[in-house]
């Protein structure tokens, strides 16, 4: 912006405007030009003009409003709110500035303040589409998805290309888990306004669907439109965080904070990066700072709860989740993690109920897309019921124990499974069929009366700690293939054949029982003779475990692995699909657990979920030496 030219232009314009003084008219015209520059993306030019106007008159309301607009465009919503409040305080009380303040307060988590501001805007202009759209955004933040959609559609009926309403509509559909409809809404927004937020929203849809490359492309496209957007830097950081590329994630969050130093989401995500690096004190300080800056920010409360839960501070974690759901009653992640805390305490009724909220998370859209009723405990006798896998292999193996109970109630049970478990599940008593692909599920759907996610079965059966179905084995591999592995092991002439598992360390390198930890365990067990040590997963070229018998090249799936495991006398390893598999087969299993293990393991050395299991726990986080020593002592005592 050529400020001298703008001042000349505004001086001419001031002579044509009825204002108390020429100076007032001049500054008002200059603020108007600044607004145009801001809306055109020339934020530095806009800010320069505003600073000049405010130097001449610190209470120039329109210039204060434009400074708020500039801060908002940069993603610094706390600063934007301050400028808008100053503008209103100076007497610049328009519907537009009240509406802008509502959005800024909403973005900083001040929902009550946002509602107050939007009411003020609607008093000045009751049918203002901008104010109604902001009401829709507040309804969405409150968790009232239906109201948000209704209000957004009301605005779009008045003004079909209204950008805020299109974006809120897309966000509400995304929140409801309707990813295809959300994608359509955001594409419509992109066509209508060609703005960064539309591309960012579409990126959110791709990220919710696990399409990280597509999400990054959308965020990059948005950032090209608004290179000074702190929010977009956060979004790109999120993609790298989810891909566990922590260095790149940290760089984007740092860049966001250089643009907007008090941006709560950037600090919240940076806390997650710090936690992954083991910098828990740094992470907690950042999250407490976010809580002070944005007390209504649900995400930071959730992150603080997760941090405390990982440290075993369950009461404090539950308090964070309760605070989050008090702000947003339908925050599914907060409900779900509260459920896990209840389960870890043995409070199964509350735990199963809260864990049902996981089904509202976008990641579970696949389950909801099947147009069959959800089974809620009705009498299933004589009816076909599809059990849907809804978690990783370890959880799937643990909760397959409920399938025979369904069959025992007379249900005709079909199971949707990952291919690696298909052959094993097909052999379960009472299972009429197994499907593994989307097309197979679609073909089966018309013939089933209900569907039920596998991890919802404990809730439907009203499982308590005293009624856990613990009969093992409940899985049965092919006996001929088991016999073949057993014969090969007998040829080696060992007294006992012991399977070993470990973790790759990618998910959490600080707590994983990695191949290096296994090497130390093998060294401690080296004095034990008469055993065959069998690798249950690929060795990855580690010299420490090169002495293991390795037949993993023959194992193409967990169904194959079950046949080898069933031929063993003992399995030792962390809680992985392989050790869960061994326990479900009724084999003796020694689970090696971190200092703070997940909900299912309780606090004892045994677990009612697997009666043949023995649990070994770290005494201190990240230190496996005590576990190695305890396992070595137990082996010597056998």
H/E element holding 406?
A: helix 403-408
Q: What does the angle CA 41 – CA 42 – CA 47 come to, to the nearest 5 degrees?
A: 120
**Any alpha helices (H) in 40-162, and if so which ranges?**
43-56, 61-73, 77-89, 95-107, 111-124, 129-141, 145-158
Which of 588, 536, 592 has the alpha carbon at shortest distance from 560? Answer: 536
From edge to edge, which strands make up the β-sheet containing 431-435? 431-435, 412-416, 384-388, 450-453
Task: Tell me what pLDDT residue 8 has.
Answer: 41
CATH code given to domain 287-364: 1.25.40.10
288-313 burial, b for 16+ CB within 10 Å, e for fewer?
Answer: ebbbebbebbbbbbbbbbbbbbbbee
Euclidean distance between CA atoms 518 and 456, whole angstroms: 35
Fold equal for 3-203 and 287-364: yes
Tokens coding 596: 């703070």
Task: Give the residues of the chain that fall short of pLDDT 70.
Answer: 1-25, 27, 194, 504-510, 539-546
Q: Where are the domains of the chain?
A: 3-203, 287-364, 372-460, 479-637
Task: Tell me what pLDDT residue 78 has.
Answer: 86
Q: What does the angle CA 371 – CA 376 – CA 382 come to, to the nearest 5 degrees?
A: 80
Euclidean distance between CA atoms 85 and 63, whole angstroms: 12
Which of 3, 56, 66, 1 has the alpha carbon at shortest distance from 31? Answer: 66
Q: How many helices (H) and strands (E) does the chain have?
A: 32, 10
Top-tier CATH class for 479-637 = alpha beta
Q: What does the angle CA 592 – CA 598 – CA 604 come to, to the nearest 5 degrees?
A: 60
CATH code given to domain 3-203: 1.25.40.10
Task: Tell me what pLDDT residue 7 has.
Answer: 45
SS3 label, residue 283? helix
Burial of 491 (C-beta count, 10 Å sphere; 0-12/13-18/19+): exposed
What is the pTM assigned to this prediction? Answer: 0.74
**CATH fold for domain 372-460:** Rossmann fold (3.40.50)
CB 565 within 8 A of CB 505: no
Please spell the DSSP secondary structure of 418-435, one letter per residue.
Answer: -HHHHHHHHTSTTEEEEE
Euclidean distance between CA atoms 415 and 560, whole angstroms: 19
């Amino acid at each position: 912006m050529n400020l001298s030219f703008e001042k000349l232009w505004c001086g001419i314009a001031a002579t044509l405007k009825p204002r108390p003084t020429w100076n007032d008219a001049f500054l008002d015209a200059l603020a108007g030009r600044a607004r145009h520059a801001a809306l055109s993306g020339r934020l530095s030019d806009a800010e320069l003009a505003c600073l000049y106007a405010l130097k001449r008159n610190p209470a120039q309301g329109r210039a204060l409003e434009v400074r708020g607009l500039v801060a908002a465009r940069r993603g610094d919503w706390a600063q934007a709110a301050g400028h808008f409040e100053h503008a209103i305080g100076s007497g610049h009380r328009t519907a537009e500035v009240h509406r802008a303040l509502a959005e800024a307060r909403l973005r900083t988590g001040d929902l009550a303040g946002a509602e107050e501001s939007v009411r003020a805007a609607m008093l000045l202009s009751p049918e203002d589409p901008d104010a109604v759209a902001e009401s829709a955004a507040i309804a969405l933040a409150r968790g009232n998805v239906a109201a948000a959609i209704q209000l957004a559609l009301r605005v779009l009926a008045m003004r079909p290309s209204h950008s805020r309403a299109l974006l809120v509509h897309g966000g509400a559909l995304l929140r409801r888990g309707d990813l295809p409809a959300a994608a359509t809404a955001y594409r419509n927004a992109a066509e209508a306004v060609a703005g960064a937020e539309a591309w960012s929203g579409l990126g959110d849809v791709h990220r919710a669907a696990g399409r990280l490359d597509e999400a990054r492309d959308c965020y990059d496209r948005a950032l090209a439109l608004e290179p000074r957007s702190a929010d977009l830097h956060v979004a790109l950081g999120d993609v790298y965080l989810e891909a566990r590329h922590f260095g790149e994630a940290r760089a984007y969050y740092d860049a966001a904070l250089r643009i907007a130093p008090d941006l709560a989401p950037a600090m919240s995500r940076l806390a997650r990066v710090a936690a992954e690096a083991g910098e828990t004190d740094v992470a907690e300080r950042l999250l407490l700072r976010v809580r002070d800056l944005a007390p209504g920010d649900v995400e930071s409360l959730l992150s603080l709860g997760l941090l405390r839960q990982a440290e075993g501070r369950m009461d404090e974690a539950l308090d964070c989740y309760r605070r989050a759901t008090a702000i947003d009653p339908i925050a599914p992640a907060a409900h779900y993690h509260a459920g896990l805390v209840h389960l870890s305490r043995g409070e199964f009724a509350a735990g199963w109920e809260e864990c049902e909220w996981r089904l509202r998370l976008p990641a579970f859209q696949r389950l909801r897309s099947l147009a069959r009723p959800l089974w809620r405990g009705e009498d299933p006798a004589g009816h076909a019921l599809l059990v849907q896998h809804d978690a990783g292999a370890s959880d799937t193996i643990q909760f397959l124990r409920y399938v025979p109970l369904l069959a025992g109630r007379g249900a005709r049970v079909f199971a949707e499974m990952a291919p690696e478990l298909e052959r094993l599940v097909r052999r379960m008593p009472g299972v009429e069929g197994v499907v593994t692909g989307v097309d197979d599920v679609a073909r089966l759907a018309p013939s089933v009366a209900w569907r039920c996610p596998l991890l919802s079965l404990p809730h439907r059966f009203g499982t308590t700690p005293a009624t856990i179905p613990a009969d093992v084995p409940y899985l049965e591999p092919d006996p001929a293939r088991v016999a073949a592995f057993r014969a090969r092991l007998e040829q080696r002439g060992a007294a006992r054949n012991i399977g070993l598992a470990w973790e790759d360390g990618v998910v959490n390198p600080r707590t994983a029982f990695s191949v290096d930890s296994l090497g130390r365990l093998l060294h401690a067990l080296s004095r034990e003779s008469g055993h065959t040590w069998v690798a249950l997963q690929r060795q990855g070229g580690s010299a420490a475990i090169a002495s293991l018998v390795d037949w993993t090249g023959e194992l193409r799936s967990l169904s194959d692995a079950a046949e080898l495991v069933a031929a063993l006398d003992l399995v030792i390893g962390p809680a992985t699909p392989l050790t869960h598999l061994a326990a479900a087969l009724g084999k003796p299993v020694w689970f090696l657990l971190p200092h703070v293990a997940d909900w299912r393991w309780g606090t004892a050395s045994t677990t009612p979920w697997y009666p043949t299991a023995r649990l070994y726990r770290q005494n201190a986080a990240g230190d496996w030496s005590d576990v190695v020593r305890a396992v070595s002592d137990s082996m010597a005592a056998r």
